[in-house]
Amino acid sequence: MLLKELAASASPLNEQQVHKLTQVAAELSATQLAWVSGYFYGISQQPGGIAAPAAAAQPAGKLTIIYASQTGNAKGLAETLKAQAQAAGVAVELFNAADYKVKQLKKETHVLIVASTNGEGEAPDDAIEFHKQLKAGKAGKLDGLHYAVLGLGDSSYEFFCQTGKDFDEYLNKAGATPLLDRLDGDVDYETVAESWSQSVVALVKDALQADAANDVAPVVPLTQGATSLYNKKNPFAAELVTNQKITGRDSDKDIRHFEISLDGSDLSYQPGDALGVWFSNDEQLVDTLLALVELAPDTPVKLDNDSVGIREALINHYELTQGYASFVQAYAELSGSDKLKALVEDKAALREYCANHQILDIVREQPAGLSAEQLQGALRRLTPRLYSIASAQAEVEDEVHLTVGVVRFEQDGEPRSGGASSFLADRLQEGGQVRVFVEHNDNFRLPANDETPVIMVGPGTGIAPFRAFMQQREAQDAAGQNWLFFGNPHFTQDFLYQTEWQRYVKSGLLSRISLAFSRDQADKVYVQHKLREQGAEVYAWLEQGAHFYVCGDANKMAKDVHEALIELVAEHGGRSREQAEEYVNALRSAKRYQRDVY
């Protein structure tokens, strides 16, 4: 049915081609369709298309790709790399770092690593042990290994792409030879990553061909599951069904419950996944910025080989509601601002400044007339926001629910708001369309065994994935016990989804609930305090095999919860600090301690 619809639309295929494709597709399983999808995508990225791989001799040998991914971006890039390598005729295997033994590197000739960075320069959860072993030199001498590293990160953070830098350093120190320089990809990494991927695949192919004998190594088939037609580059235009404020009238927070229809798409998700949301900037914000830099709204600029007005480009394609170091540095030179130039030299001060100033605020430090090309060149491209999904499809079917805190604050007496959160809350009407995709997160999953107990720590909007967890466990009649730690400022104003949690308690699905409303008493009480209070019981649950989950703020809450966990293990497990840290690290390695923090 889908192929017939494509034929009727503005498809580049003629009717005969669609008919052939329909016949082939009807004979393939979901796994085979996914393989074909990845194979054709890889071919599309190669110069010369489908004929290119056949024209050259097939390389012998094998390429190994290892990914370390927290939210799914690194995994997605690694899968694309694999498809490109296969299209080039290179035998390739793909591994999650959690499933790859460091000592195996001695047997490899060509390895590509795609790695994101978690928290303050930490390896993603699935790569903690791999990182630790490689750092300790457990791989031994790797003189025969050729490698390349693609790191992903956000340059507004101090430890930008630190995990990728670490892997590059450790492999080089072990004697391995880089195929090409490491790429440190910022949040708008797609274009540079595509160029890097094409280069590294070509280098690997040439190297393997040079070593080849007459025999051709077989291409290893893709093993990933079925993929969706819709993704980050091709999002689904979904309908916003519900926009409901779920904090009280007198709350200091504006937290919204959004329900979005996925009807008409092939998108599916699991509890723990995130929804990617593309958004448009506030038109008034754009108009104010253009006035400050003295640009006419219809000034033409080049955008992806098209010519559009600068106003349209800023509304739909450039990041304006976050400050970032690259813009401060560029605008300091363009405007001649001594204050901004001094900030560029002080990395700590620059990070703090960027965290509290949007692009408009930075320009207001010293307004200056700019050309459209100068403004465009200083800005980075818009990237979608990821929100933890607050529903299970077993419960809501073709919908997806989000729990979003709307970012609102004042800067120099003027209101400011978050790009995506205010788009959903203020500028998108119910019934309107929002472009979305699913970002799978295999590092935040319910236990495979329904009898396993779970402990969930989710203050504020960190409650979102645990609502999904409970919907899923209820649908599956899971027998495992469930314990929720939730916190927010006030019970009467900020108890998110209160009636649902009360129902789960009454039904027995939620075995225990520990609440921390920080402003309802003289001394502030947070979830980490409740963890310590219930330390003996928490430790007993862990000893019984419980999985421990944390979702929410990475900068303070997650660190405080982590510290509380170590302390309660030491106290109630009769362990030293070092032994308690080893216990907690073992939980993480076994995927019994998982975090979704931001």
SS (H, E, C) 144-170: CCEEEEEEECCCCCCCCCHHHHHHHHH
Q: Among 154, 177, 211, which residue terminates a domain?
A: 211
Structural domain includes residue 191:
yes
Q: Among 335, 352, 378, which residue terminates a domain?
A: 378
**What are the tens digits of pLDDT across the range 236-284?**
999 999 999 999 999 999 999 999 999 999 999 999 999 999 999 999 9
DSSP assignments along 271-297, one per residue? TT-EEEE-----HHHHHHHHHHTT--T
Q: Residue type at 137? A: G
Structural domain includes residue 331:
yes
435 with 464, same domain? no
Report, as an integer, the average pLDDT of 88-99. 92
Q: Residue type at 382? A: L
Query: Please, what is the average pLDDT of the chain?
Result: 88
> Could you tell me what percent of the chain has a pLDDT over 70?
87
- CB contact at 8 A, 552 and 405: no
**Predicted pLDDT at 51:** 40
21 with 139, same domain? yes
Q: Residue type at 552? A: G
Give the CATH number, domain containing residue 408: 2.40.30.10
**Predicted pLDDT at 138:** 84
Parent domain of 200? 2-211
466 with 563, same domain? yes
What ranges make up the beta strands (E) of 349-443? 385-388, 399-405, 408-411, 414-417, 433-439
Q: Which of 92, 82, 150, 89 is nearest to 116 (CA)?
A: 150
**What are the tens digits of pLDDT across the range 455-482?**
999 999 999 999 999 999 999 999 999 9
Q: How confident is the model at residue 218 (pLDDT cuts 50, 70, 90)?
A: very low
Report, as an integer, the average pLDDT of 188-204. 89
132 with 169, same domain? yes
Structural domain includes residue 61:
yes
- CB contact at 8 A, 375 and 296: no
**What are the tens digits of pLDDT across the range 134-148?**
998 889 899 989 999
404 with 364, same domain? no
96 with 190, same domain? yes
Give the least confident one: 60-74, 317-331, 339-353: 60-74
Domains in the chain: how many in total?
4
